[in-house]
A = this chain, B = another copy of it.
C-alpha cells in the first residue's frame, strides 16, 4: 500500500501528538521509539509497553496513559481542524482502560469501591459464550458517564499540552517525515536541543 503525502503528514502529526503528550505528562512511561512506518494493523507507532497484570499501577499512571493515547487525536484536531479514523485504535484502548479503572479497580467516586465485571461462567470450548451483565441499567448508565468523563478529561489535557507546544509538535512531525523513525533520545534533542540545555525543562511544563 502506497500512502499519499497527505496521509503521511497526518500520521506524522498523529504520532508526534502521542510523543509530545508523553513528554509533558509527568507519570508517563519514557518514550523508546516513534515511527511512521506502517506495521501490521497500525499506521504508526509510539511505543508504550502493555499493562502487566502482575504489576500495580496508580490512578495517576493510568490517567497519564489515557492522556498519551488521546495525544494523537488532539494533534490532528489542532493541526488539521478535523478528526480521522486513524485514532480508532487509540480510542478503543483508552475506553478499555477507563472501563477497567471504573469497573475493576474502583477508581471512580461515582461508582464506588465495587467491581462491576461481567460474569464469565459460561465457558464453552475455551471461549466465553454468553456474558450477562450482572448489574442494573442505571449502574450501566453511571459507568458510561464516567468512562466518557475519564476519556474526555485526558482528551482535554492532551489538547492543552499540544496547544502550548505547537512549535515542538511541528518539529517532531517534520523530523518523522524526514527520518521515519526517532528514538526517545532523538525526540528529546528535537524538543529541548542538546543534552546540556535540558535539565529543567520538564519541570516548567
Residues of A within 8 A of B (CB): 1, 7, 10-11, 38, 41, 43, 52-60, 62, 70, 73, 80, 82-88, 91-92, 94-95, 98-99, 104-107, 111-119, 121-125, 127-141, 143-144, 147-148, 151-152, 155
**In the complex, which residue of chain B has the Cβ closest to the Cβ of A107?**
B83
Complex Cα gap A123–B129 (Å): 7
Least CB distance from A20 to B in Å reads: 18
Least CB distance from A155 to B in Å reads: 5
Contact B115 A92 (CB under 8 A): yes
Residue in contact with A91 in the complex, picked from B84, B114, B127, CB distance below 8 Å: B114
Chain B residues with CB under 8 Å of A82's CB are 58-60
Contact B112 A152 (CB under 8 A): yes
Complex Cα gap A74–B11 (Å): 36
A58-B83, A112-B152, A122-B127 given; name 5 further pairs at CB < 8 Å. A56-B86, A70-B113, A95-B115, A122-B129, A124-B125
